[in-house]
Amino acid sequence: MEARRKHPQKALTPVRINSLSQPGRYADGNGLYLVVDKSGAKRWVLRTVVQGKRRDMGLGSLRLVSLAEARGKAIEYRKLAREGGDPIAAKRSGLAIVPTFAEAARTTLDQRRAGWKDGKSASQWLKSLSAYAFPVMGDKRVDRIETSDVLRALSPIWLSKPETARRVRQRISVVLDWAKAAGYRSGDNPVEGVAKGLPRQNGKRGHFSAIAYAEVPQFVRRLPEVPTNYFARLAFEFLILTAARTNEVLRAGWSEIDSEASVWTIPEERMKAGREHRVPLGPRAVSLLRSARERSDGSPLIFPGRTVGMPMSNMVFLMILRRMEANFTAHGFRSAFRDWAAECTNFPREVCEMALAHSIRDKTEAAYRRGDLFDKRAELMRAWDHYISSESTGG
C-alpha cells in the first residue's frame, strides 16, 4: 500500500487507476478513496463526517462509476453532510442529491478533459463559465436552471463580446445536457429557447453568427418540420454534415460523388482556395445522397433548383433559418463544427483545419504539408456525422 500523503488533491488518474493491483486504499483527495480488494475488484469509498461522526460510505464499483463520477458524487455527499444532512440515509432512500450548476460544470469538465491534448482548453472552458455563468446561476441547483437564467448570463456580453457569448452559450448547454443524462434534469435544454430573448448580433464583415455546436443536433431534428423544398432540406443537412460552404453544396454535381469510396470531390474551380478538396462522407451524409438520387429528375445537380439544370438560390438556407426564427447564418455551422472538434475530440488542429479546406497561412508549414490527411479527416467526419445523427434521433 502506498505511503500516505498530506491532503492530496485529485491524486488519481485513469492511467494510474488501471495500473493499481496491490490491495489497499488509495486516496484521491477530499475524503475520496479507491479501494482495491484482495480479489482485484476496485470500488469507491467516501470518508466524511456525518452529524459529528466519521463515516465511510460506498459510492460503487469502478466498473460502474468512473473517476469523474465518483468525484462528482463525493462533492454532492460532502455538501449534504456539511449542511447537517445524512448522505448515507439519502443514498439508501434513493434520493438524488442535485448538484449546483457550478458543481455540474466542474464534473462535466472532468469527464471531457481526457479528450483535450493540453490543459489550455480546459482552463478556457472553466474560466469563461466562471466569469459569466457562475455569478448568475453557479449556486443554483442544476434542475432549477431556466431559460431566464441563461438569458441573464448572456445578455451583458451578447453584443459587446459576441464570440465569447457564443462559446459561453454552448458550454452552458453542454453542462445542462450532462445534467439531463445524469438524471438531474428532465425536459428540453433551456439554452434552446434563449435566442428569442436576445437581439440579433451584427457581426463585423468576415465574421458569421454561429450556432453553438451543442444545439446542432436539435436544429437537424427540427429541419423536417420546416415548410420548404424537399431538396433544400436535404441540402441544408448535407451542408451541416460536411462542414462545407453554401455554394459548394448548392452547385454539387453527381459527377463529383464516388459512391463506393463515400467521397465527394469538389473541383478547384469551385473552391475558395482554388484547390481540389476531397470530403469524406459519413453514413448519414451517404443516406441523404441516396434520398436525393431517388427523387432525382435526371439533373446533373445533386440538389437541383426549380429551373432545369440550375441550382437553387444561395438565399434558400437563409429563408429556412428565418422560418425557424434562428439568429445565425448557414456559414456559422462551419464554426460550430470547428468548436466541436476542438472541445469534444482530440484530433490535431491541422486535421480540423483541412476538414474546412482552410488555407495554410504559414508558408513553411504549407511547403512541408504535401498530403491532405484524408484518412484522419475521414475519422473526424464520421465522428461529426455520428454526433449529429445519434443526438438528433435520441440514439
CATH number at residue 119: 1.10.150.130
Q: Kindly state whether residues 120 and 235 are assigned to the same domain.
A: no
Q: What is the DSSP letter of 46?
A: E
H or E stretch covering 20:
none
Q: Kindly state whether residues 223 and 357 are assigned to the same domain.
A: yes
Among 206, 234, 253, the domain-final residue is 206
Q: List Cβ neighbours of 33 (8 Å cut-off, separation of 6 or more).
A: 25, 26, 27, 44, 45, 46, 47
Q: Kindly state whether residues 58 and 114 are assigned to the same domain.
A: no
Domain containing 322: what range? 214-392
Q: Kindly state whether residues 172 and 321 are assigned to the same domain.
A: no
In a domain, 318, yes or no: yes
In a domain, 385, yes or no: yes
pLDDT of 84: 73
Average pLDDT over residues 21-38: 89
Please tell me the least confidently modeled range out of 164-168, 236-240, 258-262: 164-168
- Between 81 and 6, residue with greater pLDDT: 81
In a domain, 247, yes or no: yes
Block residue for cell numbers 470518508: 47
How many domains, the chain?
3
Q: What is the DSSP letter of 52?
A: T
Phi, psi for 151 (deg, rounded to 5): -60, -45
Average pLDDT over residues 359-373: 55
pLDDT of 114: 65
CA 176 to chain centre: 12
In a domain, 49, yes or no: yes
Q: How far, CA to CA in Å, does 264 sit from each of 249, 260, 276, 312, 369?
A: 10, 11, 11, 19, 21
Among 206, 226, 249, the domain-final residue is 206
Q: What is 235-292 written as a DSSP string? A: HHHHHHHHT--HHHHHT-BGGGEETTTTEEEE-GGGSTTSS-EEEE--HHHHHHHHHH
250, 303 Cβ separation under 8 angstroms: yes
In a domain, 193, yes or no: yes
Q: Kindly state whether residues 51 and 169 are assigned to the same domain.
A: no
Average pLDDT over residues 344-353: 86
* Cα distance between residue 180 and residue 377, in whole Å: 31
Phi, psi for 253 (deg, rounded to 5): -115, 155
* Cα distance between residue 212 and residue 6, in whole Å: 42
Which one, of 236, 325, 341, lies nearest residue 285 by Cα?
Answer: 236
* Cα distance between residue 274 and residue 267, in whole Å: 8
Average pLDDT over residues 373-377: 89
Q: Kindly state whether residues 197 and 224 are assigned to the same domain.
A: no
Among 206, 223, 251, the domain-final residue is 206
Phi, psi for 37 (deg, rounded to 5): -80, 165
In a domain, 233, yes or no: yes
| Domain CATH code at residue 228 | 1.10.443.10
In the chain, the N- to C-terminal Cα span, in Å, equals 43
| Domain CATH code at residue 75 | 3.30.160.390
Q: What is the pLDDT of residues 251-264, one digit of tens each?
A: 999 999 999 999 99
Block residue for cell numbers 441563461: 150
Interhelix angle 332-344/374-392, rounded to 10 degrees, is 100
Q: Kindly state whether residues 187 and 285 are assigned to the same domain.
A: no
For residue 392 the three cell numbers come to 438528433
Q: Kindly state whether residues 84 and 111 are assigned to the same domain.
A: no
Q: Kindly state whether residues 353 and 242 are assigned to the same domain.
A: yes
Highest mean pLDDT among 105-114, 223-232, 305-314: 223-232
Average pLDDT over residues 328-351: 87
Pairing mode, strands 257-258 and 53-61? unpaired
Q: What is 101-156 written as a DSSP string? A: HHHHHHHHHHHHGGG-SSHHHHHHHHHHHHHHTHHHHTTSBGGG--HHHHHHHHGG
Q: Kindly state whether residues 256 and 187 are assigned to the same domain.
A: no
* Cα distance between residue 372 and residue 104, in whole Å: 39
* Cα distance between residue 343 and residue 112, in whole Å: 8
Please give the share of the chain, as a percent, with pLDDT higher than 70: 87
Q: Kindly state whether residues 275 and 339 are assigned to the same domain.
A: yes
Average pLDDT over residues 205-211: 57
Q: Kindly state whether residues 155 and 121 are assigned to the same domain.
A: yes
357, 125 Cβ separation under 8 angstroms: no
In a domain, 147, yes or no: yes
pLDDT of 266: 94
* C-beta neighbour count of 190 within 10 angstroms: 18
Query: Does residue 10 sit in helix, strand or coil?
Result: coil
Is residue 314 exposed (0-12), middle (13-18) or buried (19+ Cβ within 10 Å)? middle
- Between 50 and 85, residue with greater pLDDT: 50
354, 372 Cβ separation under 8 angstroms: yes
Average pLDDT over residues 35-64: 84
* Cα distance between residue 359 and residue 349, in whole Å: 13
373, 350 Cβ separation under 8 angstroms: yes
User: Is pLDDT above 50 for 216?
Assistant: yes
For residue 305 the three cell numbers come to 433548383
In a domain, 6, yes or no: no
pLDDT category, 95, cuts 50, 70, 90?
A: low
Q: How far, CA to CA in Å, does 337 sit from each of 99, 201, 253, 295, 343?
A: 30, 20, 24, 29, 10
